[in-house]
Amino acid sequence: MVRDRFDESDIHNVRIRLIRSRNSDERQYDLPVTSEIAALIVGDFNIESSNRDIIVENRSLGLQRINGTHPSFMALQYPLLFPYGEDGYMLGIPYRNLNGSNSRKRESITMREYYACRLQQRFHEGKTLLLGRRLFQQFIVDAYTSIEEERLQWVRFNQKKLRSELYYGLKDAVLRGDTDPITVGKRIVLPSSFTGSPRYMVQNYQDAMAICRWAGYPDLFLTFTCNPKWSEINHSLEFIEGLKYEDRPDIVARVFKIKLDELLHDLRHKSHFGRVIAIVYTIEFQKRGLPHAHILLFLDPKDKCPSPTDIDGIIMAEIPDPDDDPVANEVVKQFMMHGPCGSANPKSPCMMNGKCTKHFPKRFYEETTIDEEGFPVYRRRNDGKTIEKNGILLDNRYVVPYNVDLLVKYQSHLNVEWCNRSQSIKYLFKYINKGSDRATVVVEENLPNIRSDGQETEIVVDETKAYLDCRYISASESCWRIFEFPIQFRYPPVERLNFHLEDEHPIIYPENTSLDNVLNIPGIEETKFTEWMKTNEAFEDARELTYAEFPTKWVWHSNDKQWQRRKSKYCIGRVYYTHPSSGERFYLRMLLNIVKGPRNFKELRTINDVTYPTYKEACYALGLLDDDKEWHDSLIEALNWASGQQLRQLFVTMLLFCEVADPLSLWESN
């Protein structure tokens, strides 16, 4: 049937080719260095493009669209994996009730739970799916994109049922007699709770910067990469003969998660580098077929490494002596030698315009120093030690910095860098929160080249002008997300603190609910912010803390809408950022960073027993706004996390929309 269709139709012979980045961010748009099955999502996962166009041909009814949640979707898509046409995921599959009690909020399993269960290897089940090799990779990627599609559909359909509106505006609407909820409210966009969304990445970046403000600059930057030759992976592959690690991305993902948890346990609880007071990591895949983690460690001030000698005690960038430590020499040879690149191997993936993008080979140095930009220059002595790699001798100039104890234990690429300087902090946080992997593709049409005698010769590629910016999703990333492993981690946790003007907190209500009934919902006026002020009124010791400091001593229980005393552990507070052009909200936030223990909105505006009508006037009374001080402070705060482009945009916004008294002074001071 496929052959007949090609014979009868005018089919254009096209192909998709990945090209080098046309974007400035090479890390997101680098080319794959491994052969794997991946999905290319044009644009990205978002509400507007959440529909997948899946078409089947019915013998009697012709072409029909089917949904990704149709029970026969996977059987139709992969007849080799499901030769009996077995049903796949469908809505309403109930949980198996093993213990006779059901404490779950849901009665049926989610699509993610179904595929996470389906990917497991069981001795009493057939192994057709697991033997699929490349087709199994495609199945995993297809399953993950189906899960994301279903999540986006949920967000889309629930936006029609839900509205959010400022509480103050809602009261105004009722007073006007406007009680139809369809006419009030604003649509809910893709929320920050949607993993991987732009808001999700921004929130995690701001949380990481909040930890940095609390703990100081990070001390160590680790890159931990999965090793497909780990014995645990090879042992798991022995249960089904003939498979390689690339055929089982599910096993690779699970073993890497186990190793990562063990590494974090070593760093946090065994004090490998000293007492760790904070830690941040993110997971990336970057078209290499294997996951890797970027980890930032914040050490206790007593355990920091203030001198080059201290750095030499934990980080090495030299080849170990093969006679004194043959084990370390072997692991450095396997995992920590860069290249060969340069003139010895101009086709190395790190090469661009004839130069190594990682700046290898380094120079020889007799001792460790810190350069002017705050980056360490590690000791690399010219001691004559070399390691042969691909027939080329490499010396200490090609060694990637490492910690020998961790390297020997984990038997993988584990780069350790010292990073305790302010100049590098924003780069590090931007790097570990840069977003999803992407690819630029071009659609090409293959045209035969006709000779003068009428014979076809080689294929000539005729490029169309269809360059597509695509989200790149590998089988390894798909497994990680299907198993619901975290792609971001922070310790200590960060409590995000929202705030609002009086009677202007957002509320969510069903579309078919009368607004009079909405206003009468018990506790609808209670928010995290208002309950903070009520706690200040009830407990005298609570008044000794600002809003941002409050989570260090108190815990917010969202179900009860109450602040309760913290009994254990630790948490950092972060007040949501507000743009200087947002008016009274901006000045309210300025007060929240200074005023301790207000019991109501009126006390926030009361300075030296004088109650001011606006928050801006209260800021003036505190001396926060004299001589454009608020704009200077806003730029200084943004300096901690914003990029250069964002800082320039903020400055121009202040000139356009804010009351800057002396723009020249503001420019020269910043």
Q: Which of 173-187, 337-351, 582-596 has the lowest mean pLDDT?
A: 173-187
Strand, helix or coil at 458?
A: strand
The rounded distance, in Å, linking the Cα atoms of 52 and 149 is 8
Specify the pLDDT at position 460: 44
User: Do 445 and 364 touch, CB atoms closer than 8 A?
Assistant: no
Find the mean pLDDT for residues 70-88. Answer: 89
Specify the pLDDT at position 427: 60
Find the mean pLDDT for residues 594-623. Answer: 89
The rounded distance, in Å, linking the Cα atoms of 401 and 375 is 13
Specify the pLDDT at position 260: 96
The rounded distance, in Å, linking the Cα atoms of 289 and 287 is 6
The rounded distance, in Å, linking the Cα atoms of 592 and 467 is 48
Q: Residue 531 belongs to what H/E stretch?
A: helix 528-538
Q: What is the mean pLDDT of the chain?
A: 82
Specify the pLDDT at position 406: 94
The rounded distance, in Å, linking the Cα atoms of 613 and 620 is 12
Which is nearest to 168 in space by CA: 578, 494, 503, 557?
503
Q: Which 8-state DSSP code applies to residue 628?
A: G
Backbone angles phi, psi at 14, to 5 degrees: -120, 165
Specify the pLDDT at position 435: 58
User: Do 167 and 504 touch, CB atoms closer than 8 A?
Assistant: yes
Q: What residue segments make up the domains of the chain, in order of their start? A: 16-95+106-185, 321-400, 494-622, 628-669
Find the mean pLDDT for residues 614-628. Answer: 83
Which is nearest to 515 in space by CA: 214, 225, 177?
177
Structure tokens at 198: 């732009």
Would you say residue 212 has pLDDT above 70?
Answer: yes
The rounded distance, in Å, linking the Cα atoms of 287 and 39 is 11
The rounded distance, in Å, linking the Cα atoms of 536 and 636 is 30
Q: Which of 95-109, 174-188, 337-351 has the lowest mean pLDDT?
A: 174-188
Specify the pLDDT at position 550: 93
Would you say residue 528 has pLDDT above 70?
Answer: yes
Find the mean pLDDT for residues 220-243. Answer: 92
Q: Which of 221-230, 437-446, 509-518 has the lowest mean pLDDT?
A: 437-446
- Look-up of token digits 């001792």: 367
| pTM (2 d.p.) | 0.82
**Confidence category of residue 467, pLDDT binned at 50, 70, 90:** low
Q: What is the pLDDT of residues 163-208, one digit of tens each?
A: 666 777 776 666 666 666 666 665 556 677 777 777 777 788 888 8
Find the mean pLDDT for residues 456-474. Answer: 58
User: Do 303 and 288 touch, CB atoms closer than 8 A?
Assistant: no
Specify the pLDDT at position 464: 39
**Confidence category of residue 524, pLDDT binned at 50, 70, 90:** confident
Percent of the chain with pLDDT over 70: 82
> Can you say whether the dihedral through the CA atoms of 604, 215, 623, 653 is positive or negative?
negative
Find the mean pLDDT for residues 202-222. Answer: 85
Q: Which 8-state DSSP code applies to residue 488?
A: E
The rounded distance, in Å, linking the Cα atoms of 271 and 302 is 12
Q: Which 8-state DSSP code applies to residue 423?
A: G
The rounded distance, in Å, linking the Cα atoms of 377 and 396 is 13
- Residue 532, by phi and psi: left (phi above 0), alpha (psi -120 to 50) or beta? alpha
Q: What is the pLDDT of residues 268-306, one digit of tens each?
A: 988 888 899 999 888 888 666 788 898 989 999 888 877
The rounded distance, in Å, linking the Cα atoms of 207 and 213 is 10
